[in-house]
Amino acid sequence: MKKVLRKIIIIASTLSFITSYLLHHPKIGGNIYSDIISFWYRPLVMDVRIPYIQESFEYPPLAGLITYVSSVIGRGEMIPYYNAFSTILYLFYILLVLTVFKIMREKNVPPIYIFVFLIFSPSMIVYLNYNFDVVFAALLILSLMFFEKGKYKISALLFSATTLVKLVNIILLPMLLVSLKDWKSRLNYLFYVFMPIAIVNIGLQILNPSFFKGTYLYHLNWGLENAWFVYLFPSRGSWDTAKLFSALLMAYGLLKIYLSNVGNLYERSFMLLSVFLLTNYVFTPQMVIFILPFLAIIGRIQPTFYILEGANVGIILTWFMEKDPLMPGTLPQNLALIRAVALLYMLAETYLRASGKKMIFKELIKPLASLVKIL
């Protein structure tokens, strides 16, 4: 039964991936934009140049490696490059699905949730063959699985690899360190996390002195993208303050979860990533992939999830209908706002359930009610 289910999951995942592959295929009419294809138009991929050394690239080194390998295979041709990139993403996707399936089995979570959240969820289909998010999610979930099993060295190395794809997982590090029993094991874990990161980054910095600026500082110049608080800071001139607002809000939200002692490893990871997504000044739609594996492991269907999914997919579908889709009031930003409300609700529900409370309206407005009482 287990083997049959495993096969069904692999086949279903493959079908899901093929759908995503076709949706973004550059030769199919009406294809949907993907970052993979947008990379192709850069000299980095078209002229098969070495990322960070010959050409700057705004993603961390492992993401650069995936792009470089794909471009080498593609030899300046779009379709072979696209196929190579897709194959790599497919392998990581299967790794993600099977790892989540293994964790769910160990926790006796019904397998239906893997289909709901990881295989047939609209965000997964639309944003799967799109960017490095599935690689990030696969490495992160694998790292957490090993962490839960007490295999800290391999967990730390995988965590390090995750950071080399996208830096976001760093926000989970304090949570992991706090749950280790003593300072020696914490320092050990930190060593294995940061050593590979340091070696790769220092090496690249030596080879190209502008590596750090071109790769990491590049993002600091980005403005607000699909962040709900664009409605509070509608003019571009105020976005530096919006970023400060974002940082303060994120620090508060993360601290709140770090200090709460609520939920298991996966619930806390979901809450931390949700706080990040809700407070970061860039919340691109493909980032929803970060939280989908955790929702599958938590194993609960929240009706709000479909609102989140609908809005999230709608962002890319309406993006090119607008002259300036980053501005408040446009369709993508309205959908981003709806998505944020839905995610906030899911976060609150997860938090309350994990602390043994039910998601009831009275509970949600409790702080407000006490405020009114004081007044």
Partner 1 sequence: MSIAFLRRHLSKLDVQLAILSIIILVLKLLIINEPWPKLPPSNCTNPPLSTDCALIFDEAHYVPAARKMLMGMAVNNEHPPLSKALIILGILLFGDNPIGWRVFIALSGAITVYLLGKLAHIVLKNNVLALCSAILFACDVTSFNISSMAILDAPAMMFSLLSAIFFLKRRYFYSGVAIGFALLCKISSFFIFAALLLYYFLKTSYSQKRFINSIKEMLKIVEKTLIISLLVLLAGLAIYDYSLNAYSTPFEHLDYILNYHSTLTFKEGDVVHMPITWANPIMPFSRESYFVVKVTIDGKEYHPIAYYGMQTPLWWTTWVIFAFSIYSSILILRSKAFPDTEMLILSWISLTYLVFFPIAYILHRWVYPFYFYSTVPIIAIGLPYILGEDKFSKIILFSMTAVQVAWFIVWFPVKPQWLIDFLLKVGLPA
For residues 83 and 40, what is the distance between their CA atoms, to the nearest angstrom? Answer: 12
Can you tell me which of 216, 234, 306, 327 binds partner 1, judged by CB under 8 A?
234
Determine, following the binding rule CB under 8 A, whether residue 77 of this chain makes contact with partner 1: no
Amino acid making up residue 266: Y
Q: Which stretch binds partner 1 (CB under 8 A): 30-38, 144-152, 232-240, 347-355?
A: 232-240
Least distance (Å) between residue 237 CB and partner 1: 8
Pick out residues in 336-355 that bind partner 1 (CB under 8 A).
Answer: none
Determine, following the binding rule CB under 8 A, whether residue 363 of this chain makes contact with partner 1: no
Please name the residues in contact with 229: beta carbons below 8 A apart, sequence gap of 6 or more: 242, 245, 246, 281
Pair 143, 193: CB distance under 8 Å: no
Show the tokens assigned to 102: 């293994």
Can you tell me which of 216, 218, 231, 306 binds partner 1, judged by CB under 8 A?
231
Show the tokens assigned to 74: 């593609």
Q: Which stretch binds partner 1 (CB under 8 A): 10-18, 55-63, 150-158, 251-259?
A: 251-259
Nearer Cβ to partner 1 (61/253): 253
* x-or-dash string of contact with partner 1, 160-179, rule CB under 8 A: ------------------x-
Q: Which of 47, 53, 90 is nearest to 72 (CA)?
A: 47
Q: What angle do CA 58, 62, 63 make, to 5 degrees?
A: 45
Nearer Cβ to partner 1 (185/235): 235
Please name the residues in contact with 128: beta carbons below 8 A apart, sequence gap of 6 or more: 16, 17, 20, 89, 93, 134, 289
Can you tell me which of 93, 115, 245, 290 binds partner 1, judged by CB under 8 A?
245
Can you tell me which of 33, 41, 222, 252 binds partner 1, judged by CB under 8 A?
252
Can you tell me which of 232, 247, 301, 360 binds partner 1, judged by CB under 8 A?
232
Pair 48, 35: CB distance under 8 Å: no
Can you tell me which of 31, 38, 210, 238 binds partner 1, judged by CB under 8 A?
238
Determine, following the binding rule CB under 8 A, whether residue 187 of this chain makes contact with partner 1: no
Whole-number Cα distances in Å, 136 to 143, 204, 237, 245, 334:
11, 21, 33, 27, 27
Nearer Cβ to partner 1 (232/360): 232
For residues 313 and 291, what is the distance between their CA atoms, to the nearest angstrom? Answer: 15
Can you tell me which of 57, 233, 283, 319 binds partner 1, judged by CB under 8 A?
233
Which residues here bind partner 1, judged by CB under 8 A? 178, 229, 231-235, 237-238, 240-242, 244-245, 252, 255-256, 259, 371, 374
